[in-house]
Each structure stands twice: as structure tokens, then as C-alpha cells.
Amino acid sequence: MACVHSNTGASRYGTPSTQNVTRKAAKLPPIPQALLRWYDANARDLPWRVAPKARKAGARPDPYAVWLSEIMLQQTTVATVAPRYREFLTRWPDVKAMAAAPLDDVLGEWAGLGYYARARNLHKCAVTVAETHGGFFPDTEEALRALPGIGAYTAAAIAAIAFDRRAIVIDGNIERVVSRLYAIDTPLPAAKAEIREKLEEIWPQKRSGDFAQGLMDLGASICRPKAPICLLCPVSSRCKAFKAGTQGNFPVKPAKKAKPNRVGAVFALVNAKGEMLFERRPEKGLLGGMLGLPGTEWKERIEADVFNAAPAQADWEKTGEATHTFTHFHLTLDVYAGAAPKGFRRASDQQWIKPEEARLPTVMKKAVGAATPSPSRA
């Protein structure tokens, strides 16, 4: 990449005292060039990633694997995703396999990962790709964007990483990197337009996917939210915030709201086989489609007669509490345990499962734990 001689470089007017140094009128390398060189040497080894070296040799990632990883990585850390991703890929090696699976199997495999709409849309997307795209993911940003669970970020990421399209990928990492590079002081999310404009100017035609992954790796390892390691940054010389020493001020974010408290009660009904009664939660809303213990709604105040929400008449004993913090509220659940009365018949949306075998969202796992205290305690 030939360096065009700058006609604005300071070297023209260099003082005589620097004559022996003869610094090259070194125009700084463009950001993509510096970033990609850094990525070639420092790319993280991730299970869904084709390393830059292999990529240059012609290897291409499986679009299914890219899609699966991107959905799982939405608002979820690499450390959490990596082992779960391997389980998904082993269980459903391709999109047709996932499309053929029952939704409840996918939800069960997703248990504990949070944001369960992702799992519902994952399955819906697999079915769509299998049925209306012949089992192949579309290779354009626009067509990808139309699929369930694929928004602006994920569509661009898949287009760039799996299909080598020039697509402007913007995630939280890249927002942070760019807002520091250009010292963008507009608060998010309003700053997104400006961030996109800056990226549009510098985004390379070639190695679009590697550029996106390089920016994200940089954001994760160097240009971190707290204590960025600017001394190791390949583009610090181009970074407006670094030069001003203000990298800690970016990105500007709005203040967060306080989380209200909510309370409720759940009931752990146990039968003679030691199985516990679970029910499938409504398809939409919090923990939609997941298994849980029957119980009250979760409100600011406890209901007058919580036993109206019990699944059966039983000698309910309060065995403990479960506390959990969701994205937008704190929850305290009173946990009651009881034995199923004779002749009890479960409803159609309920099922008996050994508690240790149930694939549950975390709050329900905590509630089950509070219903069955571990035998040993010193």
C-alpha cells in the first residue's frame, strides 16, 4: 500500500535541530491497515472463528456456525458462550437439524443463557432458512436482516464474516472504539449515526469480516470499557481521545434507572417418585416458553392470598426464599414446598420432572434449590 507523500506533513517545516533524525514523512498507516496487521498477529482463537491465516489460504467459516455464534453472543460474554456453543453445534450440526428439532428442545438447551427470545427466534430462523431458503443462509445483509432474531448488527456481522461482504458492523465494542478514536461526545444511542458515518469512511473493501472481528477483539482486549491499555493499541496514534488523555470519558452514556423490587411466591409440588411439578410459561414475555414452578404473578406487593396460585391443595410449608436480579427489576420469591395430594392430576401445560434433570432459567433453579435444601449444612 503505497504511502502518498503528504503535503501537509510537519517535515516540510522541520526545525534544523532535528536534521539528523530525518524522520520519514511518515504518514500514519490508515486505520484499517494498522488494525488488520494487529488482528493478524493477535486474533483470539475462538471456536466459531476461522483464523486470519487460514482465511487468507481460502478457508471460509460455515455460515450456520457464524449465525449460531452471533445469536449466542448477543449481550453475552465469550466465556459464557464458548462451551454452550460447542454443545449446540454437537447436538445440531447444521441448520436443517436444528429446524427439525422441537422448540422445547432448543429452549432446554438454551436454559441459563438468558434473553430467551433469542432461543425462540433461533429456532424460528432455522425453520425459515430450512424451509424457504433451501437450508442455505442468504448472503446479503438485507436478506439476513429479514430473518427472525437477526437485527442490524447480526445481519452485518454474518454478511461480513461469513460472506466477506463489505457491511458496516456496529456492536458495543465498536461503538466504544470509534467514539474514542474520534472523541464523539454525543451520548449513546444518539451517537450511532455519527459512529456509522465515521466507519463508512474507513471501512475497507477487502477483509471486511476480519476488520469487523479485529475491531471487536480490540474493544474486548485493549480498548476496554475500564482501564484501556492504550500503550498496546495499534491505532492509538490515530486516537483523538488518547491524544487528549480522555479515553475514559467515552463513550458517553445516559444515566441508568434504578431497579424496582418485585415479590411473588412459587410452589414446589412433589410426588411419590420425587418428581416436581413444572409448567411451561407463556410464549411471550419474561422467561417466555421456559419451564418454571407454578406461582403468583410478580408484583410490587405480595398478593393477599398467595395460595390461590398454588397448583393443588396441600400442606404448604415455606422452605425458603429465592432472590434474583433481572435486567429491570429485583425479585424475591417465597418458596413453598408440599406433597401432591391423592388423585392429583396435572394440567396439560404441566409436567413432572426430577428437579435435578429440569433445564431451567436461573431464577427457577434458585427457587428449586430453596425448595429442596441440601441435606448437609455445618
Partner DNA sequence: CATCCGTGGAA
Partner DNA sequence: TTTCCAAGGAT
Which residues sit at the interface with DNA, rule CB under 7 A? 44, 46, 49, 69-70, 73-80, 112-117, 121, 148-155, 157, 171-173, 176, 189-190, 213, 216-217, 219-220, 225-226, 253, 256-258, 285-288, 324-328, 361-363
Beta bridge partner(s), residue 334: 265, 321
Smaller CB distance to DNA: residue 338 or 361?
A: 361
Distance, in Å, from the CA atom of 37 to the CA atom of 31, rounded to the nearest integer, reads 10
Q: Cell digits for 289?
A: 416458553
Distance, in Å, from the CA atom of 58 to the CA atom of 45, rounded to the nearest integer, reads 18
Question: Considering the complex, what minimum distance in angstroms separates the CB of residue 271 from DNA?
Answer: 25
Smaller CB distance to DNA: residue 4 or 227?
A: 227
Phi, psi of 299 (to 5 degrees): -130, 180
Q: Which region holds residue 287: left if phi is over 0, alpha if psi is between -120 and 50, else beta?
A: left
Reduced to 3 states, what is the DSSP secondary structure of residue 234? coil
Q: Cell digits for 121?
A: 427466534
| Alpha-helical regions (H) of 203-310 | 208-221, 240-244
Positions marked catalytic: 70
Question: Considering the complex, what minimum distance in angstroms separates the CB of residue 146 from DNA?
Answer: 9
Question: Considering the complex, what minimum distance in angstroms separates the CB of residue 147 from DNA?
Answer: 7
Amino acid at the residue 91: R
Smaller CB distance to DNA: residue 184 or 314?
A: 184
Phi, psi of 252 (to 5 degrees): -80, 125
Smaller CB distance to DNA: residue 25 or 82?
A: 82
Question: Considering the complex, what minimum distance in angstroms separates the CB of residue 101 from DNA?
Answer: 20
Smaller CB distance to DNA: residue 51 or 339?
A: 51
User: Are the beta carbons of 247 and 176 closer than 8 angstroms?
Assistant: no
Q: Cell digits for 78?
A: 465469550
Question: Considering the complex, what minimum distance in angstroms separates the CB of residue 65 from DNA?
Answer: 11
Smaller CB distance to DNA: residue 179 or 338?
A: 179
Distance, in Å, from the CA atom of 145 to the CA atom of 127, rounded to the nearest integer, reads 16
**Which pairs with CB-CB distance under 8 Å and at least 24 residues apart come from 123-126?**
123/98, 123/99, 124/148, 124/149, 125/67, 125/71, 125/149, 125/150, 126/92, 126/95, 126/96, 126/98, 126/99
